Structure 1
Amino acid sequence: MNQIFKNRLLLLFSVMLFCANSIIKAQSNQFYNDAYQTIDNMLNDKQQYSFKEAVFSVENSYYQGKLDTDKLNREVNFLKNFANAIIQNRDLTYKQSDKEKVSKYAAVYSIMCQTLPIAVRDTVIDYKPFYYEFNDVFGHNDITNLFVSKLLTTKKGNCNSMPYLYKILAEELGVEANLALAPNHVYIKHQIKSDGWYNTELTSGIFPQDSWLMASGYIHLDAIKNGVFMKALNNKESLALCLFDLAQAYNRNFPNNDGEFVLKATNRALEVYPNFAKALILKAETHKAQFEKLMNNQNLKTDNPENIKIAQKDLKAKELFELMTKEYSHIYDIGYRQMPEEMYLDWLVSLKTEREKYENKNLLNNFTK
């Protein structure tokens, strides 16, 4: 009798554990589903566009609803008020008719990149800007190193979080800021009357000419022509970046997922921005992972070319293999080239070491009193 009771108790415990895990998983997925829906509603004009809300919804999904968005909004509001104070208390040398807009760009740039004196009662203190953190710049060890929430908390950021925050602050001030992509990189593009389109590089606080971007050696002319790199992204294309971030965060939360949600997010991103290389790569990598799972189910080792042929006797495996092969070819055809991470860091540093060679000095002069 005691053994029967123990067996029943063990069975009951197992069922309860299974149910608890299912509920936790369902709740976890719901955070991602809600974030996806928020961004999708913005893309479909069913909800007011807000890059800030899109970014924080992605980050909140990763934190499983525990992100203190109220605190983050207070931080953003403080920076917005600070920017308005800068605008009111300095006069740029810039004299074109769009001076009001440019003054807002200059204020956000100052907050992001410059040490500024602040009068607090009878004391003047220095406001410290955000700065580039060279540790884990790609978020391999900790994806939160790419988050705006972490940037706001630590003032340490990278080429993902810093341009995102710049765009958020610009939109808080009522002006547009266009994100743009380079190999492994995100930066800001603006259009003004004096200079036309110009670049703002937040990792070093410089306004580089396009020649610096081309100096990487990994921007193929086809990539420019096809909008893979150096394109000023509109707001909906910027939301496509958020959908990619959402899919990437989902993979970190659920590393053994079936790929369904990741493909849903990347496919929606590609509807908006068809030549978005990172989304194309993640889509192909997801199909590759699905193919390899089918190989594993057949007890076939993935490092043997002969096994790949054997696996394709399965119709689903054959379909996935052909699909991912086509996808990788397309990525190459539109001009994307993978830049080694070590080379990327060297290229990034070159902007400071060769500043005289690449900087738009006229723009820097316009952004001073």
Structure 2
Amino acid sequence: MKKYFSHKTIYLLSVLLLWIGTGMVKAQSNQFYNDAYQTIDNMLNDKQQYSFKEAVFSVENAYYQGKLDTDKLNREIAFLKSFANNIVQSRDLTYKQSDKDKVSKYAAVYSIMCQTLPIAIKDTVIQYKPFNYDFEDVFGHKDITNLFVSKLLATKKGNCNSMPYLYKILAEELGVEANLALAPNHVYIKHQIKSDGWYNTELTSGIFPQDSWLMASGYIHLDAIKNGVFMKALNNKESLALCLFDLAQAYNRNFPDNDGEFVLKTINRAIEIYPNFAKALILKAETHKAQFEKLMDKQNLSSTNPENIKKAQQDPKAKELMELMTQEYGHIYEIGYRQMPEEMYLDWLVSLKTEREKYENKKLLNNFTK
């Protein structure tokens, strides 16, 4: 016997199926983030071979929900690697120390990132154009993909996130190390070589600045240097902690109303590896703040009213979150972190070019030429 359903029943079934379908899509979306987290965590636990390139692209692929063309990106990286090897073989640096082979590779990657180079193709010489700094949405506020290496490769325009990331990827493709380092709102490269010890490579302007330029920002407290918040040469695992931060930040963009569980899991793992990673500590505190504000909303309390905040703390969970936030923000200040206003950051960044004579390591620049 056939069964007939009313229009109302059919409508309710449709809504239920739509709701289930949406839930399945969201669960599938989260799986991309779980996979990226697992990839990075396996590297941290030495269960998987370390690859900064794979870590970076796993984060970007999670944001794009599995639609990132990693095969194409790997071909582009392979081309740049081949180009760098050709540069190494075709020129002889004035540098004469025993680590010349390593330095030649650093110089080749620097050239690809920062210099216009002639390329001979049969009887024609064309000019290779380097990567340039993109002053549009430098912090990725409008579009987080402006921070991505994939965007840098597609447009040849990047910022202080994507450019040092690509530099590190290319250096590792050539079999040499490259250390990321942090300054306020900023990432740059540190290398150690026999002639100069540690030196800085600033890719946004293509200059080798002395530490005095970093200190000139006015936002690097001595405690921040002592505690490794800024100016520390990060090892490979600490660099993976940066990728975990990127993953948590991307997750927030994909799912702005999330409950904070995945973000805290990811950020806590990053902090395990790099305890004084200020941006991760801040995101942890801000996640607890968001959780606290959601509890206030449930109680129909405004978070801008101090009296309401006291009322909210009658909830044991809200009280716990408030205590966590107080401890976390206090710890961030104690380790020496100071927030640099974004408009001041751009002025500071430009100062490296306008005051190049004052801050540049000229000896190093000479060693990187024929």
Determine if the TM-score, normalized by the shorter chain, exceeds 0.5: yes
Aligned residue for 1:324? 325
Distance in 1, Cα, partners of 2:315 & 2:38: 35
Give the C-alpha shift of residue 5 in structure 1: 1.0
Counterparts in 2 of 1:206-217, with a 5 A limit? 206-217=207-218
Give the C-alpha shift of residue 97 in structure 1: 0.2
What amino acid sits opposite 1:84 in the alignment? N
Distance in 1, Cα, partners of 2:287 & 2:297: 15
Aligned sequence identity (%): 86
Distance in 1, Cα, partners of 2:270 & 2:118: 42
Structure 1 gaps of 5+ residues are none
Aligned residue for 1:99? 100
Give the C-alpha shift of residue 67 in structure 1: 0.0
| Structure 2 SS opposite 1:186 | strand
Distance in 2, Cα, partners of 1:19 & 1:33: 21
Structure 2 gaps of 5+ residues are none
* 1:310 is aligned to 2:311: yes
- Encode CA deviations 1:197-240: one digit per residue, 9 max, x unaligned: 00000000000000000000000000000000000000000000
Aligned residue for 1:166? 167
Aligned residue for 1:139? 140
Counterparts in 2 of 1:278-289, with a 5 A limit? 278-289=279-290
Aligned residue for 1:61? 62
What amino acid sits opposite 1:193 in the alignment? K
What amino acid sits opposite 2:67 in the alignment? K
Aligned residue for 2:266? 265
| Structure 1 SS opposite 2:6 | helix
Aligned residue for 1:255? 256
Distance in 2, Cα, partners of 1:324 & 1:61: 29
Distance in 1, Cα, partners of 2:329 & 2:304: 18
Counterparts in 2 of 1:167-182, with a 5 A limit? 167-182=168-183
Aligned residue for 1:23? 24
Distance in 2, Cα, partners of 1:21 & 1:317: 30
Aligned residue for 2:192? 191
Aligned residue for 1:81? 82
* 4+ runs deviating over 4 angstroms: none
Distance in 2, Cα, partners of 1:6 & 1:353: 72
What amino acid sits opposite 1:292 in the alignment? E
Distance in 2, Cα, partners of 1:148 & 1:23: 30
Distance in 1, Cα, partners of 2:241 & 2:261: 17
Distance in 2, Cα, partners of 1:267 & 1:339: 24
Task: State the superposition RMSD in angstroms.
Answer: 0.7
Q: How many residues align?
A: 367
Counterparts in 2 of 1:333-348, with a 5 A limit? 333-348=334-349
Aligned residue for 1:72? 73
- Encode CA deviations 1:164-205: one digit per residue, 9 max, x unaligned: 000000000000000000000000000000000000000000
Aligned residue for 2:118? 117
What amino acid sits opposite 2:34 in the alignment? N
| Structure 2 SS opposite 1:190 | strand
What amino acid sits opposite 1:26 in the alignment? A
What amino acid sits opposite 1:363 in the alignment? L
Aligned residue for 2:275? 274
Aligned residue for 1:241? 242
Give the C-alpha shift of residue 69 in structure 1: 0.0
- Encode CA deviations 1:128-156: one digit per residue, 9 max, x unaligned: 00000000000000000000000000000
Aligned residue for 1:294? 295
Give the C-alpha shift of residue 4 in structure 1: 6.3
Aligned residue for 1:46? 47
